[in-house]
């Protein structure tokens, strides 16, 4: 027998820009970014909802490339939203566009859209030629404050979230703040849950800032919203770059706090409950559970629930009480699926303080049941409108 182990060191540069009106004449950030890679050819893919909200965008992109010497191969408007992650239809369409435009591994695909669109198109760019350069322009609160700066892409499969996907570091991310202000208010607010999440697991001072600004955030005051999005994006990116496990080979996944239940609720409701509202519920559940098992002070857990109330995010959905034939709550299968998705032993992050998480390897289903009861009662008592987005 002969065995040889090699180390293959690979590092990536993660370029993240915060700006406004990225394609306007006075803004050089996109040109600078593309020039850094040395490639010349580019295509642009825009999510339909964004093209509708910003009717001048296609022309702006065209004019931008007109001012540069890149080999611009045109813009295509494509559908987005969670439904495009439901099958491989969009992925195949994008492969066709990339092939038709002769996009090679040095060329760029500039992709403008929400988290679901970026996930599906990102999977296509990650797999075309084993990876062409993706420049993401996230357009929702959630995609700017979390997923857009991530290094993953996926579509859903076999009834499960993100079953088909890859790790793939984008060439660049341009968070253009202007896109933040054209989604409906509920979607904008729901995306803030990922900022609350990363604050709770990484940065207690940021949680206190969110708490202190909860009114302005709920009202979507632009400057406050943008500051929150930027801080959240940077905390996510820093964790990925400096946390020691960018491609999640271990079992610990702090950025997935509250996500085992969230992903299950999304799948159980056939994605009628979107990701942001589902995370709000999952985060409320795991926060309450942390207090119930004595890890987190009860008062701290109540502060978290008060922030969710303040952001008008729901903390309960009837899916939490849907039962299997055996009488077990169906949502609890989310724990099994979470473990399977990660591999290895079950690892769920709970809170031991506001800003500090701790990994645990089992969750008590009876205690979880009690927490669900509390969330249901609290939700039933909530004033009309709070969390209406996930109402029955």
Ligand X SMILES: NC(=O)c1ccc[n+]([C@@H]2O[C@H](COP(=O)([O-])OP(=O)(O)OC[C@H]3O[C@@H](n4cnc5c(N)ncnc54)[C@H](O)[C@@H]3O)[C@@H](O)[C@H]2O)c1
Residue 50 binds to ligand X (criterion: CB under 6 A)? yes
Q: What is the pattern of x (binds ligand X, CB under 6 A) and - over residues 99-138?
A: --------------xxxxx-x-------------------
The answer to whether 140 contacts ligand X (rule: CB under 6 A) is yes
CB of 71 to ligand X, least distance (A): 28
Vertex 245: Cα angle to 241 and 251 (nearest 5): 145
Q: Residue 333 and residue 337: Cα distance in Å, rounded? A: 6
Which stretch in 36-44, 78-86, 99-107, 344-352 sits in contact with ligand X by CB under 6 A?
78-86
Which one of the spans 142-150, 198-206, 227-235, 318-326 is the region binding ligand X (CB under 6 A)?
142-150
Rounded to whole angstroms, the Cα distance separating 153 from 161 reads: 11
Of 152 and 189, the one with the shorter C-beta distance to ligand X is 152
Greatest distance between any 2 Cα atoms in the chain: 70
| Min CB(232)–ligand X separation in Å | 12
Question: Is 289 exposed, middle or buried (CB count within 10 Å of its CB: 0-12, 13-18, 19+)?
Answer: buried
Contact in structure between 178 and 168 (CB atoms under 8 Å): no
Find the shortest distance in angstroms from Cβ 82 to ligand X: 5
Q: How far does Cα 77 stand from its chain's mean position? A: 22
Distances (CA, A) of 230 to 40, 145, 160, 234: 29, 6, 30, 6
Q: Six-digit token pair at 316?
A: 């309960």
163 and 263 Cβ atoms separated by less than 8 Å = no
The single residue among 22, 45, 64, 81 that binds ligand X, judged by CB under 6 A, is 81
User: Which residue, 41 or 253, is less far from ligand X as judged by CB?
Assistant: 253
Check residue 23 for interaction with ligand X (CB under 6 A). no
Looking at the Cβ atoms of 220 and 293, the one nearer to ligand X is: 220
Number of neighbours of residue 293 by Cβ within 10 angstroms? 15
Contact call for residue 286 and ligand X (CB under 6 A): no
Residues that bind ligand X (CB under 6 A): 47, 49-50, 53, 80-82, 85, 113-117, 119, 139-140, 142-143, 146-147, 150, 152-153, 161, 179, 182-183, 187, 191, 275-276
């Amino acid at each position: 027998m002969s065995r040889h182990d090699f180390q293959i060191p690979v590092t990536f540069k993660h370029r993240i820009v915060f700006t406004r009106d990225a394609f306007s004449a006075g803004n050089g950030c996109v040109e600078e970014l593309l020039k850094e890679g040395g490639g010349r050819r580019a295509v642009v893919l825009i999510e339909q909802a964004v093209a509708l909200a910003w009717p001048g965008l296609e022309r702006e992109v065209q004019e931008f490339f007109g001012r540069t010497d890149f080999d611009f191969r045109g813009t295509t408007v494509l559908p987005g939203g969670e439904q495009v992650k439901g099958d491989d239809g969009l992925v195949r369409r994008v492969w066709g566009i990339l092939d038709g435009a002769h996009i090679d591994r040095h060329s760029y695909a500039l992709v403008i859209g929400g988290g679901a669109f970026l996930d599906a198109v990102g999977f296509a760019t990650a797999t075309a030629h084993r990876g062409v350069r993706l420049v993401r322009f996230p357009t929702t609160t959630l995609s700017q404050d979390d997923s857009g700066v991530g290094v993953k892409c996926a579509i859903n499969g076999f009834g499960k979230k993100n079953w088909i996907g890859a790790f793939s570091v984008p060439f660049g991310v341009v968070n253009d703040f202007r896109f933040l202000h054209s989604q409906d208010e509920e979607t904008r607010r729901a995306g803030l849950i990922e900022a609350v999440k990363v604050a709770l697991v990484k940065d207690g001072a940021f949680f206190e800032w969110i708490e202190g600004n909860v009114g302005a955030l709920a009202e979507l005051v632009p400057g406050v919203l943008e500051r929150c999005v930027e801080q959240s994006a940077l905390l996510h990116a820093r964790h990925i770059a400096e946390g020691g496990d960018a491609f999640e080979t271990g079992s610990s996944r702090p950025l997935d706090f509250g996500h085992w239940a969230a992903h299950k609720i999304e799948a159980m409701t056939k994605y009628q409950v979107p990701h942001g509202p589902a995370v709000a519920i999952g985060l409320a559940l795991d926060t309450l559970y942390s207090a119930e098992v004595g890890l987190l002070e009860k008062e701290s857990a109540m502060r978290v629930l008060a922030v969710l109330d303040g952001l008008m995010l729901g903390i309960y959905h009837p899916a939490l009480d849907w039962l299997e034939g055996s009488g077990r709550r169906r949502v609890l299968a989310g724990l099994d699926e979470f473990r399977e998705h990660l591999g290895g032993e079950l690892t769920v992050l709970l809170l031991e303080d506001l800003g500090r998480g701790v990994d645990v390897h089992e969750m008590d289903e009876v205690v979880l049941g009690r927490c669900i009861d509390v969330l249901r009662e609290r939700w039933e008592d909530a004033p009309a409108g709070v969390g209406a987005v996930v109402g029955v």
